[in-house]
Amino acid sequence: MNPALSLLLSLGLGLLIGLERGWRLRDEHEGGRIAGIRTFGLLGLGGGLCGLAANSVSIWLGLVGLSGIVAAVLMAHRARLSEPDENVSATNAIVSIMTALLGLEAVMGYPREAMIAAGAITLVLAMRDQLHGWLKTLSAEDIRAAAQYGAISLVILPLLPDKAMGPYNALNPRMIWLVVVFVTGLSFAGYWAAKRFGNRRGTIAAAAIGATYSSTAVTLELARRLRGEDADRATLNAGIAAATAIMPIRVLILCAVIAPAALPGFLEGIGVAVAFAVIYALVAFLSSRRQEGNGTLATQRNPFDFWPAVGFAVLVTVVVVLSRWAIEQFGNRGVEVLIGITGLYDVDAAIIAAANLAHVITDWRALGILFSLPILVNSVIKLVLVLGIAGVAKGWRAALPLLATALLIAGGMIWLSL
Predicted TM-score (pTM) of this structure: 0.53
Q: 44 and 100 in contact (C-beta within 8 Å)? A: yes
Q: What is the pLDDT of residues 174-191, one digit of tens each?
A: 877 876 776 677 566 656
Q: How far apart are CA 126 and CA 160, in angstroms?
A: 37
Confidence tier at 294 by pLDDT (50, 70, 90): very low
What is the average pLDDT across 88-98?
82
Question: Could you tell me which residue, 58 or 315, shows the higher pLDDT?
Answer: 58
Average pLDDT, the chain: 78
Task: For residue range 136-163, list pLDDT tens digits in order.
Answer: 777 777 787 778 788 888 888 888 888 8
Q: What is the pLDDT of residues 271-285, one digit of tens each?
A: 898 899 889 888 887
% of the chain exceeding 90 in pLDDT: 14
Average pLDDT over residues 383-390: 86
Q: Using CA atoms of 60, 61, 63, 64 in order, give the dihedral in degrees to the nearest 10.
A: 120
Residue (of 170, 257, 242) closest to 208 by Cα position: 242
Contacts 24+ apart (CB under 8 A), 72-78: 73/35, 73/43, 73/97, 73/100, 76/34, 76/35, 77/34
**d(Cα 375, Cα 396) in Å, to the nearest integer?**
20
Q: Give φ, ψ of 165 to 5 degrees.
A: -160, 175
For the cut 60, the answer to whether the pLDDT of residue 344 exceeds it is no
More confident residue, 418 or 44: 44
Burial class of residue 306 (count of CB atoms within 10 Å of its CB; 0-12, 13-18, 19+): middle
